[in-house]
Amino acid sequence: SQTIHQWPATLVQPVGSPLSLECTVEGTSNPNLYWYRQAAGRGLQLLFYSVGIGQISSEVPQNLSASRPQDRQFILSSKKLLLSDSGFYLCASVGGTEAFFGQGTRLTVV
Amino acid sequence: EDQVTQSPEALRLQEGESSSLNCSYTVSGLRGLFWYRQDPGKGPEFLFTLYSAGEEKEKERLKATLTKKESFLHITAPKPEDSATYLCAVQNYGGSQGNLIFGKGTKLSVKP
């Protein structure tokens, strides 16, 4: 089965600083990759998805961007963080009807 | 609009007290219904995918069933280590290339 690696596990960043979260996938090729944000009591919100290298679709207008430089690498970025960007960020790989998640990054913007 | 509603929001059980979690959904065309377990501070751990009404799947003390409008996660004789948040999600044939639409989860606590 697939393994999804995310890092870092936790991150504390000041308002206005840049962000880069990385996700890599093992055990599959050509996956559809997703970034979700999970807020307490609000479920998982889809932020971006990618069906291939360089192909990014955004679901929610926001302060964040995503890139997919390699088949099994997905990056979430921001040029200037806002307080509202705090949350638990999850990377997922979906192939057909199999869907696996990484262990997440807890981002706190201070 | 595709939607997933889980109930109850929280459930407290005594060890050995069996119960069920509910996941109601509306979706334009169901491709799959997923159940996950999530421990605090961790990513969701895949449990089951169900594809059609009438289907059932089991794993240890967990059994998932599916109808045309809802899914149940039955927990038989739970143990304290079953304490976690259980998430339900649906995948439709349209939408964002296989995106999962999640409910808010049911937080299960099992007391010894």
CA distance linking residue B22 with residue B17, whole number of Å: 17
CB-CB neighbors (< 8 A) of B89 in chain A = 44, 99
The whole-number average pLDDT for the span A1-25 is: 95
The H or E element containing residue A17 is: none
Q: Measure A43 CA to nearest chain B CA, in Å.
A: 4
Domain extent, residue B27, equals 3-94+103-111
Chain-chain contact of A102 with B103 (C-beta, under 8 angstroms)? no
Architecture field, domain A3-109:
Sandwich (2.60)
Asked whether B33 and B66 are in contact (CB, 8 A), the reply is yes
Mean pLDDT of chain A: 92
Which residues are within 8 A (CB) of A48 and not within 5 positions of it... i.e. 6 or more apart? A34, A35, A56, A57, A58, A59, A64, A65, A66, A76
Instruction: For residue A102, list chain B residues with Cβ-Cβ distance below 8 A.
Output: 43
Say which residues have a Cβ less than 8 Å from residue B98's Cβ, sequence separation at least 6: A32, A94, A96, A99, B31, B91
Name the residue among B34, B96, B103 with its Cβ closest to that of A99.
B34
Higher pLDDT, B28 or A19: A19
Give chain B's domain count.
1
How far is Cα A73 from Cα A24, in angstroms, rounded to an integer? Answer: 5
Interchain contact, A51 vs B31, CB within 8 Å: no
Q: Does A40 touch chain B (CB under 8 A)?
A: no
Per-residue confidence (pLDDT) for residue A52, from 0 to 100: 92
Choose the mutation target among B50, B100, B107 for the interface with A, i.e. most A CBs under 10 Å: B100
Q: How does residue A98 score in pLDDT terms, banded at 50, 70 and 90? A: confident
Q: How far apart are CA B3 and CA B111, in angstroms?
A: 32
Place of tokens 């334009």: B28
The residue ranges of every structural domain in chain A are: 3-109
Does the distance separating the beta carbons of A104 and B97 come in below 8 Å?
no
Chain A residues lying within 8 Å of B31, measured CB to CB: 97
Put simply, the chain B residues between 32 and 71 with a CB less than 8 A from any chain A CB are: 32, 34, 36, 41-46, 49, 51
The neighbour count for residue B106, using CB atoms within 10 Å, is 21
Q: What would the DSSP string read from start to end of chain B?
A: --EEEEE-SEEEEETT--EEEEEEEE-SSEEEEEEEEE-TTS--EEEEEE-STT-EEEETTEEEEE-SSEEEEEE-S--GGG-EEEEEEEEESSTTTT-EEE---EEEEEE-
Per-residue pLDDT of chain B (112 residues; tens, 9 = 90+): 889 999 999 999 999 999 999 999 998 888 899 999 999 999 999 999 999 999 999 999 999 999 999 999 999 999 999 999 999 999 887 655 678 899 999 999 999 9
Domain CATH number, residue B52: 2.60.40.10
Q: In 3D, which of A40, A70, A66 has the Cα closest to residue A53? A: A70
Q: What is the pLDDT of residues A61-96, one digit of tens each?
A: 678 999 999 999 999 999 999 999 999 999 999 876
Which pLDDT does position B79 carry in this prediction?
98
pLDDT of residue A101: 95
